[in-house]
Amino acid sequence: MKIILNYLYHFFRLFFPSHCEACNKNLLKGEKTLCFNCLLDIPKTNFHKEKENSLNKLFYGITNIKYSTAFFFFRKGSKYRTLIHKLKYKGKDYLGIELGRMSGAEIKDSFFSEIDIIIPVPLHPAKKRIRGYNQSEMISKGLSEIMDKPYKTDILLRNIFTETQTKKNLEERRKNVNTAFKLKNQQYIEGKHVLLVDDVVTTGSTLIACANELLKSKNVVVSIFSVAFADNL
């Protein structure tokens, strides 16, 4: 049976080869999601090797973040931007899990091993309905599997707004993001080290709002992980 299945798999692969999600070349045997070249070329931040880094600086004096890292830099014209685009807008939820696994393998033996629990940035329920999933939750799933730490989605939630952001001025918008999240079951994270997970960080305002909410729980420590860091947009 196994031999037949294996044969069928290779037979179909001949006609429907899977493609590298970054450069679109056919994948070879042993390659998964990304081809070997794309895997080698990822513009990694390696921030899990330096506690003081340019991502961490976004939070200095604003909120209390212990460690922060991102898997790769998100830069104009980069072929890796397409990974985030497919994850957010093309229904490729499995890419989130795969990126989470890759990232988990990078950081699990670093000081990030100190974390106790993984919490994704929640998506607005209306957006989640349209997209079918929360991409940060998919990333958390992959991270959780490799780092062997639980992830929870019932602690940090979105408040539901009816007004649109676009009609607001900057000050109102900032206030809006500050009240966009709410903490539930906060006793669950008391005294714990939480890894807050996002897909892309640009200004950090969403993460700051989420961290401030998590920090309302007693003796909680917050660190940050994002797949991509848009440091020069």
Per CB under 5 A, residues contacting Zn ion are: 20, 22-23, 35, 38
From the CB of 43, what's the least distance to Zn ion, in Å?
14
Residue nearer to Zn ion on the CB measure, 35 or 58: 35
Residue 198, helix vs strand vs coil:
strand
Q: Give the DSSP letter string of 110-122.
A: SGGGG--EEEEPP
From the CB of 225, what's the least distance to Zn ion, in Å?
24
CA nearest to 87, candidates 76, 95, 79: 95
The CA-based dihedral angle spanning residues 171, 130, 120, 136, taken in that order and rounded to the nearest 10 degrees: -100
**Residues whose CB is less than 8 angstroms from the CB of residue 216 and which lie 6 or more positions away in sequence, other chains included:** 183, 186
From the CB of 79, what's the least distance to Zn ion, in Å?
7
Residue nearer to Zn ion on the CB measure, 35 or 228: 35
From the CB of 84, what's the least distance to Zn ion, in Å?
15
Residue 151: both structure tokens together? 């992830």
From the CB of 81, what's the least distance to Zn ion, in Å?
14
Helical spans, DSSP H, in 68-154: 81-89, 93-107, 125-131, 135-147
Does residue 197 contact residue 143 with C-beta atoms inside 8 Å?
Answer: yes
Cα 91–chain centre separation: 15
Residue 37: both structure tokens together? 């070249």
Residue 228 burial class via C-beta count within 10 angstroms: exposed 0-12, middle 13-18, buried 19 and up:
buried
From the CB of 229, what's the least distance to Zn ion, in Å?
21
Residue nearer to Zn ion on the CB measure, 94 or 111: 94
Residue 212: both structure tokens together? 């401030």
Residue nearer to Zn ion on the CB measure, 35 or 123: 35
Residue nearer to Zn ion on the CB measure, 99 or 118: 99
From the CB of 35, what's the least distance to Zn ion, in Å?
3
Residue nearer to Zn ion on the CB measure, 32 or 49: 32
Residue 146 burial class via C-beta count within 10 angstroms: exposed 0-12, middle 13-18, buried 19 and up:
middle
Residue nearer to Zn ion on the CB measure, 22 or 221: 22
